[in-house]
Amino acid sequence: MILQGKDIEKSFGGLKALNGVSFELGNNEVLGIIGPNGAGKSTLFNIICGVYSPTKGSIHFEGKNITGLKPHDIARLGIARTFQIAHAFRDMTVLDNILTALGIDEYNGIVSMFKLAKKSDTVESAMSYIELLDLKDAANKKAGELSLGMMRRLEIARALALRPKVLMLDEPCAGLSYDDADEFINLISMLKGQKISIMMVEHNMNVAMRACDRLVVLNFGEKIAEGTPNEIQNDPLVIEAYLGKEE
């Protein structure tokens, strides 16, 4: 087990967005967080990434308590994330986007910050991520000029360039065409081959069922089910949450 959340609770004002949610992400596993709108998926995601701190409960990464750490510290520990709406640095080239991520270990030192960013070996390693995600032709294009599918790939390439142990994907298939989503599922299995554990929030049931080893289902801030895609598909509570109760 590489990442674990224990009894996470989060209130915004009087509103409880999460109520005692626990999860475990195994080594080299793909875990999906699913649930209807407003279930608390994104809140959980943002708590793990350090955007919010939980009201109660804790997050452990490789056995270390990382609750309440800042986003840049969490990224440095080895938890990389993508965003629900593609957040490429639009005015920078694809290559510069990746180079920004490759600097992750050096942004905290006053001296190392001034290291050159475009040394040939750094650029080479950036190109390897660009090639991995099939973006070579676009390497010197501004990220803002890419199609949505390519921008998502860029985000994943950039997250991989952080050399993470855990990759957090926030609705990676939102807005993608059927073919692009298909390609994405292939990508996930390739990443699994590279010993990266993946946790993804996904709205698209079809994608979640196919891409994930295990699913955690949230509804109204509580965990209502957990299991393999097969088990989840047949869980009456889940069906009820998505489709409503039978009369």
Partner 1 sequence: MFLQQLVNSIVIGSVYALTAMGATLVYGILRVLDIANAGAYAVGAYIGMAIYALTGNLFVSLIATLIISGAIGICLEKFIYLRLLDKPSIVPLITSIGVFIFIEDLLRLLNGPYAKRFPAKLPFSGIQLSSVSIPATWILVMVVTAVLLFILWYILYHTRIGLAWRATAQDMETAKAMGVNINLVVALNFLLGYGFAAVAGSLIGIMYNSISPTMGDTPAYKMLAIIVLGGLGNPVGTVLAALIIGLVETFLGGYIGFFLPRDAIAFVALIIMLLIRPKGLFASNNA
Asked if 121 is part of the footprint of partner 1 (rule: CB under 8 A), the reply reads: no
The only residue of 34, 162, 167, 232 in contact with partner 1, by rule CB under 8 A: 162
Count of residues in contact with partner 1, rule CB under 8 A: 36
- Of the listed pieces 20-28, 32-40, 57-65, 101-109, which binds partner 1 according to CB under 8 A? 101-109
- Of the listed pieces 35-43, 94-102, 202-210, 227-235, which binds partner 1 according to CB under 8 A? 94-102
Nearest to 106 by CA among 163, 172, 43, 34: 163
The only residue of 17, 47, 48, 75 in contact with partner 1, by rule CB under 8 A: 75
Asked if 85 is part of the footprint of partner 1 (rule: CB under 8 A), the reply reads: no
Positive or negative, the CA dihedral 231, 17, 158, 70 is: negative
Contacts of 186 (CB under 8 A, 6+ apart): none
The only residue of 118, 177, 228, 237 in contact with partner 1, by rule CB under 8 A: 118
Q: b/e string for 54-77 if b means 16 or more Cβ within 10 A?
A: beebebbbeeeebbebeeeebbbb
Contact by Cβ (8 Å): 171, 3: no
Contacts of 201 (CB under 8 A, 6+ apart): 32, 33, 34, 41, 42, 44, 45, 84, 169, 170, 171
Q: Which is nearer to partner 1, 109 or 236 (CB)?
A: 109
Q: What amino acid occupies position 52?
A: Y
Asked if 71 is part of the footprint of partner 1 (rule: CB under 8 A), the reply reads: yes
- Of the listed pieces 7-15, 110-118, 127-135, 221-229, which binds partner 1 according to CB under 8 A? 110-118
- Of the listed pieces 3-11, 59-67, 87-95, 233-241, which binds partner 1 according to CB under 8 A? 87-95
> Considering the complex, what minimum distance in angstroms separates the CB of residue 130 from partner 1?
16
Asked if 115 is part of the footprint of partner 1 (rule: CB under 8 A), the reply reads: yes
The only residue of 104, 139, 205, 224 in contact with partner 1, by rule CB under 8 A: 104
What distances in angstroms separate CA 38 from CA 42, 94, 175, 203, one per listed residue?
9, 33, 19, 11
Helix (H) or strand (E) holding 99: helix 94-102
Contact by Cβ (8 Å): 36, 42: no
Query: x/- binding map, residues 1-40, to partner 1, per CB under 8 A?
Result: ----------------------------------------
Tell me which residues touch partner 1 (CB under 8 A).
49, 51, 70-72, 75-76, 80-81, 83, 87, 89-92, 96, 99-101, 103-108, 110, 112-118, 144, 158, 162
